[in-house]
Every structure is written in structure tokens, then in C-alpha cells.
Amino acid sequence: MKTPQKRTTIYDIAKKLNIAASSVSRALSNSSKVNPATKALILKTAAEMNYQQNVMASNLRKGSNRTIGVVVPRINQGYFSNIIAGMEDITYNKGYNLIICQSNELHAREVDCVNALINQHVNCIVISIAAEPGGHEHLQQVLDHRIRLIQFDRVVDELETFKVINDNERASSEAVSHLIQQGYQRIALLEGPQNLDIFRQRKEGYLSALRKHGLPILEELMCENAWTKELSAEATRKLLGMKNPPDAIFASTSDFSALGVLEVATQMGISVPEQLGICGYSNEPFTEITSPSITTIDQYSFSMGKTIGNLFFQEMEVADLHIEPKIMSIKPKLIVRKSTQRS
């Protein structure tokens, strides 16, 4: 633990040039009130001395560190990594940094991450909450510490914050309507954890489409907590083993679930889409290359990331903390592929 040699500071430059540190600071921060000649000299000397601003000191003094904290369940999931990539594209151009944390779907870890970010005095926290149920005092804390907050995708509805969400209900309703139009009559639903609003909304979309088309709502066709490939495969085995099995499955939780369905159907010799229609959610890259390719819903994740970034810079960065929070809803797009095209 040693510091072999000090970094150059503005005082070193000031001393060398026999001027005040404040002038050096002004020259470096490109302030107008400084003689162009001295300014040039200062910049030249700074470069020669290999000067790099100490951002920690600058941040402390200015009370802002131009940093946005991001908390997601998992970084290495197509949807979230695309969101982050999109955000980075925006923040990079604004000279902001992104600090990334993953909750691993655990509430306690999410609380930890949020506290760490509050501690860092980030300018804004962008979060999509973990699946594990838990309170949201930690998010209230963010607001209490006067840090801006954007929730996206999986949001705590009752908390009044900026939100960037997908219209899950509408997208799901469209997907199920599409299945009905293709002639499917007994459509099963694979549900995600109902403590997350996104999964409740998707279920709602499923129900409303059935109602709209006058189809019965059958409890036995709705499977709880089928939100991994494995759990979905298990649920599918049960569904397809019924006396009166479904003729379509809407894997509302993810494409991974849809893949589980497809694999089980293939194993059981059930032909897709003829005997069984399958629709997933998220438009993961692989849905295009399975056989048959899988119908799914694209959430525009990369551009959603950009939307989040732009929202911060355009509406929040310099605005009053107490402005009415904005809610932006992005309409996902149904991508029809072979797994649901009977006609």
C-alpha cells in the first residue's frame, strides 16, 4: 500500500508558473474569464506535467459525481445487457459514468446495492426490481436522499417515480388474440411470479383476449411460476398429459420458457405448430433459429435503454426534485414466426 510518487495537482502547475491555483483551475475548466495567453501556457504546462484532474476532489466540491447507478437482476441476460448497452450509449456522450450492480433476483442483495449507490452519491439510480418478494423502503430511501430514481420494466407501481415500462398487457393480449385467430382454442398460460407487476399484466392480457373472443377461462390451463426453462418443461409435460390437453401455450415469462415447451413437445412427438402453437416473450436471438422458429414479443430493449438515458438528461438532471414524475410506456411488438402459423 504505497504511493510511489504524487500526481500533479493544480498547485504544482501554479507554483511552476508562479500564478494562483485558482487561475489554473479556471483555465483548465475552460472558464471565459482568463487571459487567452496565460490559458494557453497553463494548458501546455499541464500537458507537459501529465496533469489529470482529480475527479474525486472536483466531485466533492461540486457535490455531484456525474454517475448513474444501475441495479438489475442479472447483467448477463440479453434483455438487461441490451438495456445497459443502450443507456451507456447516451451517458457516454454526456460524460456520465455508469455503475452496474446485479441483485441476482435477491431482495436483500438489491437493498445492499441500492444502499451502496446512495452512499456513492450517484445522481440517479435506475432499477428493475428482483423477483424475490420484499418491501420497497430502500427505494423510498433513494428519494429521501434526494437521488433521482427511474424504475423500468419490473416496477413498484405504487411508488411515485419516473418509470419506463412496456405495455405488457396489450402485447400479451395481442399475442393471445393472434393465437385465437390462428384457430387455437385451448390456450394455456405459463405465468411468472405474480408479485411482479409485469407478470400480472401479462396474465391480465391473456385473460382479456380470451374474454374478448368469448373463450372460456380455464384454471387448469394456467400454470403458476413457470418462469425458467426447466419449470416450463415440467408444466408442459403436465399440460400435454391431460385428457384434454391445450392446443397452444403462451409462455408469457420468457423465450427460455417457450424453448422448454418446444423441447418437450418435440420429445413427445407433438408437431408444432400443427398440434400445438407456442408463443414466447422477449425476442431472444435464438427464437429465430429454433425449428420451428418461435413467435415472440420484442421489447426493444436497446432503444429502451436509450429512452431511459434520454429521460434522465432531458427531464431530470437539472429539474426540481419534486416535479411530477413521467411514465413512459413502450409498446412491444408481436413477431409472428412459424411456431404459431397454422394457416
Partner DNA sequence: CTGAAAGCGCTTACAG
9 binds DNA (CB under 7 A): yes
Torsion on CA atoms 156, 158, 164, 167, rounded to nearest 10: 90
Q: How near is the Cβ of 93 to a copy of itself at its closest, in Å? A: 10
Find the shortest distance in angstroms from Cβ 15 to a copy of itself: 21
Query: Distance between CA 208 and CA 333 in Å, rounded?
Result: 18
Helix axes 36-48, 10-17, angle to 10 degrees: 120
Least Å distance between CB 24 and DNA? 7
> d(Cα 249, Cα 76) in Å, to the nearest integer?
27
Per the listing, cell 427460455 goes with 256
CA distances from 16 to 42, 45, 48, 58 (A): 10, 9, 12, 22
Verify binding: residue 53, DNA, rule CB under 7 A.
Answer: yes
Binding mask 145-164 for DNA (x = CB under 7 A): --------------------
Find which of a copy of itself, DNA, none residue 20 binds, CB within 5 to 8 Å per kind: DNA
285 binds a copy of itself per the rule CB under 8 A: yes
SS3 at position 204: helix
Using rule CB under 8 A, residue 271 touches a copy of itself? no
Residues 187, 248: contact at Cβ < 8 Å?
A: yes
Q: Does 291 bind a copy of itself (CB under 8 A)?
A: yes
Tell me the three cell numbers of residue 76.
448477463
Closest CB 30 distance from DNA, rounded Å: 10
Determine the Cα–Cα distance for residues 309 and 312; give it in Å rounded to an integer: 5
Contact pattern from residue 176 through residue 205 relative to a copy of itself, giving x for each residue in contact according to CB under 8 A and a dash for the rest: ------------------------------
Q: Determine contact, residues 187/250, Cβ cutoff 8 Å.
A: yes
Are 308 and 150 contacting, i.e. CB atoms less than 8 angstroms apart?
yes
Residue 35 contact among DNA, a copy of itself, none, beta carbon within 5 to 8 Å by kind: DNA
Helix/strand/coil for 10: helix
DSSP 343: -
> Least distance in Å: CB of 27 to DNA?
7
Q: Is 286 in the site for a copy of itself (CB under 8 A)?
A: yes
Contact 196, 252 (CB under 8 A): no
- Contact with a copy of itself (CB under 8 A): which of 45, 102, 161, 295? 102
82-111 binders of DNA (CB under 7 A): none
- Site mask, DNA, residues 169-208, x = CB under 7 A? ----------------------------------------
Identify what 343 binds: DNA, a copy of itself, none; CB under 5 to 8 Å per kind. Answer: none
Q: Does 40 bind DNA (CB under 7 A)?
A: no
Size of the site for a copy of itself (CB under 8 A): 58
Does position 10 interact with DNA (CB under 7 A)? The reply is yes
Q: Are 149 and 161 in contact (CB under 8 A)?
A: yes
